[in-house]
Amino acid sequence: MGSRFKITIEEENTASANLKIDRIISEIVRIENLISDWIPNSQVSRINENAGIKPVKVDKEVFDLTKRAVYFSEISNGAFDISVAALEKVYDYKEGWMDEFPDEKIIQKSISKVGYQNIILDEKNQTVFLKFKGMKIGFGSTGKGYAAQKARSFAQAIGVQSGIIDASGDISTWSSNSNWKIGIHNPFRPKNPIDILKLKNAAVTTSGNYEKFLMIGGKRYSHIINPKTGIPAEGLTSVTVLGPDAEFANGLSTTMMVLGKKNGLRFIQNFPDYASLMITDAGKVIRSKNYRKLKKSLAR
């Protein structure tokens, strides 16, 4: 993940609030150490290191998270693919710019390592195996949402009645009383939110190209890569998804960035508990058909 988390909770006094926030932070760090592929000793890093060599036994939590990501890869027909991490090194996102696109041969070679179908899950032995050397999985698309959702559940378990877990824009809320107000960022007018959500026990996630992006030949490209083409997603500046679960919403917003406005809207219709607000590269705002209705119901 490597993302900044902001934790807001309601407590009777500062001492109690600080103690509980420290415990919530420890839970987030625990998850980070399990699933972040940039941490050498994480279980996900060990899976990647053993690609094409041998299955790796993992905790049930990591196994189940991987299983859900593979399922999401299946239902999106590969628009979302947990193994797209193999393409990350093709583009220099660390520098933030490139003079030109990578050579087509380099892109195609990396694409050959992408394919959720080649992730072998052994439920009985609780192992994950990547069939080919050079394959890699990563939870950049669902990890923040998962961590936000888990941190929320943990906070509730230790007696926090109301709060917000904000994982760099992927948010999970809960409240026993009043609603939390969450603004949807407008990349074209940063000081003026596109919309204000009133959420009680819900999640809202945003995927976009306005914070993390790559300039290639003077043009801005998203950090979200199309797993099938190896090319950064185009057409949408951001996709915001609201619904009950931050992990699933995270997967939806990433997938819709890849699918684009028409196919993205068709895709989210399969999940009536979730709604979306998209902003195109031209600044046009497009809401899913159920957006206003769901927005209203989540405020209750």
Which residue has tokens 């998209």?
Answer: 278
The domains found in the chain, sorted by start residue, are 175-211+223-298 (3.10.520.10)
In the DSSP assignment, the letter for residue 225 is B
Token output for 212: 């993390």
Q: Express each pLDDT in 194-252 by its tens digit.
A: 999 999 999 999 999 877 777 887 777 888 999 999 998 989 999 999 999 999 999 99
254 annotated to a ligand binding site: yes
Would you say residue 2 has pLDDT above 70? no
Name which of 163, 192, 187 is nearest 240 in CA terms.
187
Q: What angle do CA 197, 28, 117 make, to 5 degrees?
A: 85
Name which of 216, 208, 224 is nearest 281 in CA terms.
208
Q: Express each pLDDT in 34-48 by its tens digit.
A: 999 999 999 999 999
With beta carbons less than 8 A apart as the criterion, state whether 37 and 19 touch: no
pTM summary value: 0.93
Burial class (CB within 10 angstroms; exposed 0-12, middle 13-18, buried 19+) of 93: middle
